[in-house]
Amino acid sequence: MSKRGRGGTAGNKFRMSLGLPVAATVNCADNTGAKNLYIISVKGIKGRLNRLPSACVGDMVMATVKKGKPDLRKKVMPAVIVRQRKPWRRKDGVYMYFEGMYACQVLKISNAIIFHSIMLES
pLDDT digits (tens, 9 = 90+) for 45-102: 988 999 999 999 989 999 999 999 999 999 999 999 999 999 999 989 999 999 999 9
Beta bridge partners of 114: 107
pTM: 0.78
Selected residue with higher pLDDT from 75 and 119 = 75
Looking at residue 110, its pLDDT comes to 47
CATH topology of domain 20-107: Ribosomal Protein L14 (2.40.150)
**Domain layout of the chain by residue ranges:** 20-107
